[in-house]
Amino acid sequence: MRAWRDPERVGYLHVADGGVIDNFGVASLIVMDEAAGGDLGPFSAEDAVRMSSLTFIVVNAETLDTAQWPLDARGPTGPESVGALLDRSIDASKRLALEAFSARLADWERRLIDYRCSLAADEAARLGADETWDCRAFEVMLDVISFHDLGEVEGGELGGMATAVSLPADQIDALIAGGRRAVSLNPALQELAGRVP
């Protein structure tokens, strides 16, 4: 950070899409938990008592690989090679981040249940527990929504669309409709929607 402010070293700050660093947006949550430290991580004591569940839905809108060069004996062109290398490096980092986040969620659940169950009844009540409160009644869930959920034909068609700042109106409409359908098919989201009054 200091280097960014040193005019002898940095004259211009060039930025890139955040997906290059944290495509699913979960690595920053791991860092946040790590920085918070302690049993509760980023949560307050009141959060730990009042929450009964914590659900994370990761939306994976990655472009599916539709390259034709693997079927060509000549192989990829230079730009295709660079694109494939960049795509694979982003794919690998986001999958590793998702695996690390999944492990972190299991740890959050254990830590929060341990904390909740360590509270005396009067302390739990002061933090928001009512007479029906069960210290073990807490769960953390993680699910991923992607084009794959829509089946091979529709998912392949939507996942094969270009990632661009501007798309034709019919493609935008198809992507919105596909997203709605994927949400309607996702069991974790449907269960969560059923809990909301």
Residue 169 scores a pLDDT above 70: yes
Question: How far apart are the C-alpha atoms of 43 and 34, rounded to whole Å?
Answer: 12
3-state secondary structure the chain: CCHHHCCCCCCCCCCCCCHHHHCCCCHHHHHHHHHHCCCCCCCCHHHHHHCCEEEEEEEECCCCCCCCHHHCCCCCCHHHHHHHHHHHHHHHHHHHHHHHHHHHHHHHHHHHHHHHHHCCHHHHHHCCCCCCCCCCCCEEEEEEEEHHHHCHHHHHHHHCCCCCCCCCHHHHHHHHHHHHHHHHHCHHHHHHHHHCC
Residue 1 scores a pLDDT above 70: no
Count, residues in the chain? 197
What tens digit of pLDDT does each residue of 31-45 get?
Answer: 777 777 777 777 889
Q: How confident is the model at residue 173, as a pLDDT?
A: 93
Residue 178 scores a pLDDT above 60: yes
What tens digit of pLDDT does each residue of 42-60 get?
Answer: 788 999 999 988 888 888 8
Residue 20 scores a pLDDT above 70: no
List the chain domain ranges. 3-195
Of residues 196 and 170, the one with the higher pLDDT is 170
Residue 177 scores a pLDDT above 90: yes
Residue 6 scores a pLDDT above 80: yes
Question: How far apart are the C-alpha atoms of 52 and 139, rounded to whole Å?
Answer: 7
Q: How confident is the model at residue 114, as a pLDDT?
A: 94
Q: How confident is the model at residue 14, as a pLDDT?
A: 67
Q: Is the pTM of this model over 0.75?
A: no
What tens digit of pLDDT does each residue of 137-149 get?
Answer: 999 889 999 888 8
Question: How far apart are the C-alpha atoms of 99 and 111, rounded to whole Å?
Answer: 19
